Structures are given as C-alpha cells and as structure tokens.
C-alpha cells in the first residue's frame, strides 16, 4: 500500500484494460497458483506497488480471489510470486 492510501482505495485501482487482457491471455484465464483450477479474475502485483512494482505484464499474474488474498497474507507466497514466471509465453497481437 502506498503511504496514506487505504485498502479500499487500493482495490479501486484498475489495471489498464489492454494490460489486463494481455495477462488474461498469457495465463489462459486461469489462476496461476499451482494446483488451482479456478478462473483467474484478479491481477496480482508480483512486486507490490508499495515496493514500486508497476502495472506491467511482467509484474502481474492472474489469480482467483482466494489465492490473491492468500498472496498478500502469507509471507511464503509473497516470495513465491516474486520469483514466478509464466508457464509459457503466448504470442499475441493487440490491434
């Protein structure tokens, strides 16, 4: 969280539609936590915004709501996501 910013304000921040689309496409619309079979609906910042992580394709991963909350609550998952790399890269064209 950025100093002076409430959690509710953080949740209001929106990742640009084109970046969200790229993350969704790359991650095949699925939560990227190992063994999870749920649809991914939320972009997680691998490096938190409070640590100067940006809204870039390289810094975002698609997670379901449950695992997005877990990523923020448990230190071991924070470290995991910081090192995470996509299973495969998808070539895509944005028109």
What is residue 27's predicted lDDT score, i.e. its pLDDT?
A: 94
Asked whether the beta carbons of 15 and 57 are under 8 A apart, the reply is no
Give, for all 95 residues of the chain, the pLDDT tens digit.
Answer: 445 544 444 554 678 999 999 999 999 999 999 999 999 999 999 988 888 889 999 999 999 999 999 998 888 887 788 888 877 645 554 54
The pTM (predicted TM-score) of the whole model is: 0.73
pLDDT of residue 72: 87
Three-state SS string across the chain, please? CCCCCCHHHHHHCCCCHHHHHHHHHHCCCECCCCCCCCECCEEEECCCHHHCCCCCHHHEEEECHHHHHHHHHCHHHHHHHHHCCCCCCCCCCCC
């Amino acid at each position: 969280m950025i100093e002076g910013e409430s959690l509710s304000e953080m949740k209001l921040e929106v990742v640009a539609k084109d970046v969200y689309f790229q993350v969704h496409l790359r991650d095949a619309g699925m939560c990227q936590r190992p063994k999870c079979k749920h649809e991914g609906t939320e972009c997680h910042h691998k490096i938190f915004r409070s640590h100067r992580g940006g809204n870039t394709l390289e810094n975002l991963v698609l997670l379901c709501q449950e695992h997005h909350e877990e990523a923020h609550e448990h230190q071991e998952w924070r470290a995991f996501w910081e090192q995470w790399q996509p299973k495969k890269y998808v070539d895509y064209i944005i028109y």
